[in-house]
Amino acid sequence: MTEHHFGNVAPLKNVAALLTLIDRVQNRVHGLPGMATFYGPSGRGKSMAATYATNQMDAVHIEIQPLWRAKNLLAGIAGHLDIAKPAKTASAIFEQVAERMQRDMRPLLIDEADRLVRDDMVEVVRGLYEASNAPIILIGEEDLPTMLMRWERVHGRMLDWVAAQHADIVDVNQLATIYAPNIEITDDLKAALLDGSRQSHRYVCSNLARVAELALTRGLSRVTKQDWGKTKFFSGEPPAARREVIVELSRQRQAARTARRS
């Protein structure tokens, strides 16, 4: 597999992992299954990896929406395959999509694949694979492999299951060139940022942008942990309730208890 680049840097660890997985499924030995799963908790950069792979490997990337059913799924894939005139019925669109997938053999990346399992659309996807033999990668949350065990015919078509990894300091360095360009961030601040972001790629990006904002506000070209001070990093945790709110809620509960006794 050739080396790929994300902007002017080597790809993030999970970008590279997805590219490698797609490459393996595309170039599998004849007779091996042509589906795979890329899974992990929210914030691990799975969708970022899928977006990059779409451009790098001419893949078809579709994100399952909450209210979709089989026809919506097929119509969405048809649109990404540039099928100009989708048919009227789900079965007819299925035939169009399967024929185009077989002809082009472009990898199909299905994001938010957990929704396929909940709404039984996963059998439609399996049917597309069987009809076309094109590579299909399901992308979803941590428990997606377990959820797919209900569907033996889908589970058995998997070539591999690849888990997205948490962010590390190498990812921080690479993302810093995108979200805090031309700013030197000291190693101690990078380490604190990674820890404060709970090793989530999403929160690392947000916090790097906040470091860049701090640098712009103060006119700094180099930001240290001391510059950052005691400011909390964004970690997805909701803010703690203010003391006065807690006191007021306690007062209201006490008043309600008193009223019930009387």
Q: What is the pLDDT of residues 78-92, one digit of tens each?
A: 999 999 888 999 999
Per-residue pLDDT, 153: 87
Q: pLDDT band at 239, cuts 50/70/90?
A: low
Average pLDDT, stretch 3-15?
61
Average pLDDT, stretch 232-255?
71
Q: Is the pLDDT of residue 2 over 80?
A: no
- % of the chain exceeding 90 in pLDDT: 72
Lowest mean pLDDT among 73-77, 135-139, 233-237: 233-237
Average pLDDT, stretch 4-8?
47
Per-residue pLDDT, 152: 87
Per-residue pLDDT, 48: 87
Selection from 189, 235, 246 nearest residue 212 by Cα: 189
Q: Is the pLDDT of residue 1 over 50?
A: no
Average pLDDT, stretch 31-37?
95
State the DSSP code for 9: B
Per-residue pLDDT, 235: 83
Nearest-angstrom CA–CA distance, 160 and 24: 9
What is the chain's mean pLDDT, rounded?
Answer: 89
Per-residue pLDDT, 242: 56
Nearest-angstrom CA–CA distance, 248 and 41: 37
State the DSSP code for 224: -
Per-residue pLDDT, 259: 72
- Within 13 Å of residue 235, how many CA atoms lie on the same side as its CB? 14
